[in-house]
Amino acid sequence: MKTLFAVTVSAAALSAAFAADFCDQWGTATTDNYIIYNNLWGESYATSGSQCTGLDSSSGSTVAWHTNWTWEGASSSVKSYANAALQFDAVQLSSVSSIPTTIKYTVTYSGTIVADVSYDLFTSSTSTGDNEFEIMIWLAALGGAGPISSTGSAIDTTTIAGNSFSVYSGTNGDTTVYSFVASSEIDSFSGDLMDFFTYLMDSQSFDSSQYLNTVQCGTEPFTGEDVTLTVSSFSAVVNTGASSSSTTGTTGNDGTFHDDCCAEMCYSCPSCAYVSVVRFLSECFGVGEIPDITLSKLR
């Protein structure tokens, strides 16, 4: 009886944690793999407004969360960056084999909005040093939002993960910022974030000895009324070591080819646990549709 009672209390506490939004400037919610931040770092720029964020669910390497905000004033200034941040140890890019990620989200609002939905990654020349480079991947530029740029114009265009991006470069204090802005809104993204670094190494002389220390995805609001970002699923993992040589796989309902190694599946799992297979089959192929694949890398 004591054991059953303890389990009941734990489940209730977990449910309450998911249900409670947090509205304080630096409020957070923590799961095994992620920290959800409210992160109202630029709220002082606003003439009025507020923002609250909440964790909806967490299962394995996948998390669901939301944030709601209204901000007025200083239309060219970012007010916050509510986000889900992956928890991992800093690692040199030269040691990273892949950074598979997926996200599905919706944005609703009243009236007008100026905001982006973006990945935000940081690197440094040492594992504990100050950030030197920021790499932003804008999945959506809403209401005319624009990235940091030294010239106001893109320095290049490129196609990554089947999507077209304009590339911008600029500085924010001592940090060099590269921004990849999608040509049209991407509300369901599946790809390898390492491909963006590979582009920078090939085209912008980016140093592979840099340490990756931050991988997060969220939204930067400038202005807007009663805006809600709902992330129905987000996953990311930083894989190190030699990449898989397997080329067998199949194409899921999302139109993306999935390698058989579970680290490249629709929902990545660094430990190749069975739950990853279950999510892969149910989310990518639909209930009852069992694909003809060889899960050669599972153990």
Catalytic machinery residues? 134, 220
| 47: number of Cβ within 10 Å | 9
Going by C-alpha positions, the residue among 46, 122, 117 that lies closest to residue 81 is: 117
Answer positive or negative: Cα dihedral of 43, 180, 97, 189. Answer: positive
Please answer whether residues 28 and 37 qualify as being in contact, where contact means their C-beta atoms are separated by less than 8 angstroms. Answer: yes
| CA dist., res. 232 & res. 238, Å (int) | 21
